[in-house]
Amino acid sequence: MDFYSTNSNGCRANAKNAVLQGLASDGGLYMPAEIPSLSKHFLDNLENLSFQEIAFEIAKSFFSSDINDTDLRGIIESALTFPAPVVNIHDNINTLELFHGPTLAFKDFGARFMARTMSHFLNENEKQHLTILVATSGDTGSAVAQGFLDCPNIDVIILYPAGKVSKIQEMQLTTIGHNITALEVNGTFDDCQRLVKTAFADKNLTEKFLLGSANSINIARLIPQIFYYFEAYKQLKNKKLATFFAVPSGNFGNLTACLMAKIMGLPIEKIIAATNINDVVPQYLESGVFSPHPSYQTIANAMDVGNPSNFARLQDICKKDLNTMRNYLWGLKVTDDEALQAIKEVKEKYNYTLDPHGAMGYVALSSYLKQVSIPSQGIFLETAHPAKFGDVVTKVLTENPAIPERLATCLNGKKETIKISTAYIDLKEYLLTTIN
Ligand SMILES: *Cc1c(COP(=O)(O)O)cnc(C)c1O
């Protein structure tokens, strides 16, 4: 399947170029030429399929003309080595736990699939060397780094805002070594994103090196995020109830994947966009005015995004029509206090520990379901393991969430970073002197 840019339908690429470039040459984000519809047989038969089989069918509907079945199956089997279980919290409220991967966050799904897809395409012409540039507000970086660790012919450079990620996130980013380098930017996440975007648009660099992106703008990160919505629906016992998903959102990649799942045929009644106080999308849904702003810091820092990059894809899917988007989405801003209150309440009443991001999904879902009159059920996404946010969670809980072993090991590592300013020249000089 070909992919087109959200900036102009005429700017197209085949799957290989779309995946290796990340961002389209006109600065837009790639979208599949068509969002495929899955067969009724596939949808009715979900319960008889494994997670990997579901993922394979979905991936095939996008990549069948570009990656042969055997290789695609191989990519999926080596990427999806952990489950995505649905857990009931209470009554009609469930969570989809997306933190069972190596870095304990949902971005493992996208990063691992993308890394293997890129390797697949690079192997087609062996001499290509790829440098991945990625801006992270916390979780992307470690998921990407782990996804690419020791991938031949690929280096990864991660930009993260100094002092604005949690201690654990920072250790996950900066202790890996090998083909992974962490740049500590003296600024915000938006600065990191701008630096990366500027580098991609800089001909001095792109004519010399093959640069790739790996944050949520890459279409090979987005597509695997579709998989787990089907896997979640499969696990619901009562499929007759209207089903709602609440997605804790920052750059809106995860939510865009949810919308694509709906368009592909998954019976989702409505998608709830949960944000923290960086609520440009909920505000847009209400007022019709999209006003991006510099990001504000919250306890759900992976959602601290003032100008969500995937809004361009949402607009594209909705043909820039506000009412179309309103039919698909409902948005709610959740404050830190509301999220903390939810963490406390859900632990006390239901003995389940939410992380700050999932807590915002829980609050948004609960308040939406209260106003729905049809028999319904909801799933909010637990996008990270609470142990990654122990300092936040313990503000309202008496005990620390247990730290899984795969997280504990990196905490004993040695932090290694290179410090840069928010001036683009700093990044450029670094790239020119280190890439060979
Ligand atoms: C990245 C991230 C989000 C936001 O996801 P988007 O796809 O950028 O909207 C939410 N929660 C966690 C834990 C994350 O790492």
Report whether residue 107 contacts ligand 1, using a CB cutoff of 6 Å: yes
pLDDT in tens, 255-300: 999 999 999 999 999 999 999 999 999 999 999 999 999 999 999 9
Mean pLDDT of the chain: 94
Q: Which atom of ligand 1 is nearest to the CA of 357?
A: 11
Kindly give the distance from the C-alpha atom of residue 302 to the centroid of ligand 1, in angstroms, as a whole number: 5
Per-residue confidence (pLDDT) for residue 167, from 0 to 100: 83
| Residue with token string 């410090």 | 419
CA distances in angstroms from 344 to 8, 101, 178, 396, listed in the order given:
47, 25, 40, 6
Per-residue confidence (pLDDT) for residue 152, from 0 to 100: 77
Q: How far apart are CA 248 and CA 355, in angstroms?
A: 11
Of 114, 134, 139, the residue with max ligand 1 atoms within 8 A of its CB, to mutate for a pocket test, comes to 139
pLDDT in tens, 37-48: 999 999 999 999
Report whether residue 18 contacts ligand 1, using a CB cutoff of 6 Å: no
Our answer to whether residue 107 is catalytic in this structure is: yes
Kindly give the distance from the C-alpha atom of residue 382 to the centroid of ligand 1, in angstroms, as a whole number: 10
Mean pLDDT of 119-143: 83
Report whether residue 105 contacts ligand 1, using a CB cutoff of 6 Å: yes
Kindly give the distance from the C-alpha atom of residue 239 to the centroid of ligand 1, in angstroms, as a whole number: 27
Q: How far apart are CA 229 and CA 263, in angstroms?
A: 12
Of 98, 99, 106, 311, the residue with max ligand 1 atoms within 8 A of its CB, to mutate for a pocket test, comes to 106
Kindly give the distance from the C-alpha atom of residue 308 to the centroid of ligand 1, in angstroms, as a whole number: 11
Is-above-0.75 flag for pTM?
yes
Kindly give the distance from the C-alpha atom of residue 418 to the centroid of ligand 1, in angstroms, as a whole number: 25
Q: How far apart are CA 67 and CA 15, in angstroms?
A: 9
Q: Could you tell me the pLDDT band of residue 145, with boundaries at 50, 70 and 90?
A: confident
Q: Which of 16, 107, 164, 270 is catalytic?
A: 107
Nearest CA to ligand 1 atom 14: 302
Please state, as a whole number, how many other Cβ atoms lie within 10 Å of the Cβ of residue 371: 7
Residue 241's Cβ-side half-sphere holds a number of Cα atoms within 13 Å equal to 18
Mean pLDDT of 151-169: 89
Mean pLDDT of 24-48: 96
Q: Could you tell me the pLDDT band of residue 126, with boundaries at 50, 70 and 90?
A: low
Per-residue confidence (pLDDT) for residue 298, from 0 to 100: 96
